[in-house]
Structure 1
Amino acid sequence: MSKETVLYVVIALLVGILGTVLVTGVANKQKTAPPAAGIPAGGGSPVDYQQRITEAEKIVAADPKNLQAWVQLGNDYFDTDQAKKAIDAYGKALELDPNNANVLTDQGIMFKRVGWFDRAIANFEKAQQLDPKHLQSLYNLGVIYMADLKQPAKAVKYWERYLELDPMSPNSQQIRLMLDEAKGMGQSSPPQGNVFSK
């Protein structure tokens, strides 16, 4: 195996690991908001998630305009890897509040998870239009272009913007590493084969 191939494999692993860590942070950050009435706050075991999902489903059945319950339901589906249900719950939340950059980003992550990259990009870009300083959507635009669409030059654009907005946080250090790797990939031709396959 050539040094270049090994480098690409290492890059793919790093992007995957960092993507999981940072992407998961969106759902966790939203959980700091006060829970909807009747929904227990905080994380927990799968039993807790199922209880929370059941409660949230009851709340939205009785009150379909309860934005916080839809968001919480989407977050719990997100955290339990039920992507299509999360997409639907976030969709209901977005019907009530179409300008919520966090919900757009979380739904975009779920679109990405099921392979709907165009829809994910559209959500992340809309989140950026609504809030040009929304770091999570910038990060995810970089990830989708780097890891999923194999377009490192586009990833560079988004990650450079991220660093303009947040040059000093611990996340920015990780973004710098991924940015350097993306720039390196853009300067050399990729190896034959799909080194980013799952």
Structure 2
Amino acid sequence: MARKHSRKSASTPKTAPTTSPAATTAAAPGTATTAAPGAETTASSAATPTVRRSTCFFGMAVMLILGILLGSMTSTFLHGTTPAPAERPTAAAPSPSRPAEESVPPELAQRIAELQRRLAEKPADPELLASLGSLYFDTNQPRLAIEAYEASLRFAPGNVHVMTDLGIMYREIGDPEKAVELFRQVIALKPNFENALFNLGVVLNFDLHRHDEARAAWQQLLKVNPAARTPNGDPVSEVIKTIPKDQK
């Protein structure tokens, strides 16, 4: 029975979202004030004591300094410490290549743990290894899936389902040539295996741009199953018409 994993289609690249820099504004400067000139004194008021202009400025300066000191002491008593300057933002650390455990659904994480426990008792069981690889496949952990699938094939070589899924995982890590090699091995073992034929066409067409070979793979698929469809439900017989010809 064909595995659902073996019909993965080409994915659309995502673009990283961009953030607009925050706008900064400068505080409006304060305005200076000037004191109104004093009224002129008359000769009759000469005996009245007056304050010299220099003395007035000196007294204002002293009061200003005292006000700043008192304000600082009040702030310290009220808040304990003066506020620390804001730290400059730092770049986020890169995400790990493997998803964190909390990103795996709990039920799948439990199944993975159970298979690992069983494999500790039966490390050479190809079925358990293939099942573990399928769980890593489903949780988007291609490198772990590759390890499990390859271990399964060491104990049970020639499993076309495992080989096809292994090819898809090699495509996921950016090795389409290895994927094509595995799909061709599957087709050599089982020429009418639809999953391998479909995925061979996908990788040849979208990743390697070897369009004539991709067309040949899908033409072979249509001979096996004229009603074959893509995972999106599109008839392969229609999609094949969109494959361009190779430049000679």
- Per the normalisation by structure 1, the TM-score is 0.69
CA contact (8 A) 2:226 2:237 kept: no
Judged with a 3 Å threshold, the aligned counterparts in structure 2 of structure 1 residues 169 and 160 are, in CA distance, closer, same or farther, namely closer
The answer for the alignment partner of 1:180 in structure 2 is 241
Range moving further from structure 2, 89-98 or 165-174: 165-174
From 135, 138, 147, give the equivalent of 1:76. 135
How many equivalent residue pairs?
147
Judged with a 3 Å threshold, the aligned counterparts in structure 2 of structure 1 residues 118 and 50 are, in CA distance, closer, same or farther, namely same
* CA radius of gyration, larger in: 2
Matched ranges for 1:75-94 at <5 A: 75-94=134-153
Judged with a 3 Å threshold, the aligned counterparts in structure 2 of structure 1 residues 170 and 115 are, in CA distance, closer, same or farther, namely closer
d(CA) in 1 for partners of 2:111, 2:147: 17
The answer for the alignment partner of 1:108 in structure 2 is 167
Where do 5+ consecutive residues of structure 2 fail to align?
10-103
Offset of residue 174 of structure 1: 2.4
d(CA) in 2 for partners of 1:22, 1:64: 29
1:47 partnered with 2:106: yes
CA contact (8 A) 1:145 1:155 kept: yes
Judged with a 3 Å threshold, the aligned counterparts in structure 2 of structure 1 residues 169 and 178 are, in CA distance, closer, same or farther, namely closer
Offset of residue 169 of structure 1: 4.4
d(CA) in 2 for partners of 1:179, 1:58: 45
d(CA) in 2 for partners of 1:81, 1:97: 24
The answer for the alignment partner of 1:145 in structure 2 is 204
Offset of residue 142 of structure 1: 0.3
CA contact (8 A) 2:8 2:168 kept: yes
d(CA) in 2 for partners of 1:21, 1:76: 14
More helix by share: 1
d(CA) in 2 for partners of 1:122, 1:146: 15
The answer for the alignment partner of 1:158 in structure 2 is 217
Query: Could you report, residue by residue, the CA deviation over 1:86-133 in whole angstroms, capped at 9, with x for unpaired residues?
Result: 000000110111110110000000000101112111111111111111
d(CA) in 2 for partners of 1:119, 1:141: 11
CA contact (8 A) 1:23 1:136 kept: no
Query: Could you report, residue by residue, the CA deviation over 1:3-62 in whole angstroms, capped at 9, with x for unpaired residues?
Result: xxxxxxxxxxxxxxxxx99328xxxxxxxxxxxxxxxxxxxx811110111111111121
SS in structure 1 of the partner of residue 106 of structure 2 = helix
Aligned Cα RMSD in Å? 2.1
| Identical columns (%) | 29
Where do 5+ consecutive residues of structure 1 fail to align?
1-19, 25-44, 190-198
Query: Could you report, residue by residue, the CA deviation over 1:145-181 in whole angstroms, capped at 9, with x for unpaired residues?
Result: 1110112111100000000000134459521122110
CA contact (8 A) 2:6 2:199 kept: no
SS in structure 1 of the partner of residue 144 of structure 2 = helix
- Per the normalisation by structure 2, the TM-score is 0.56
Structure 1 segments (4+ residues) deviating >4 Å:
169-173
SS in structure 2 of the partner of residue 186 of structure 1 = coil
AA aligned to 2:235 is: Q
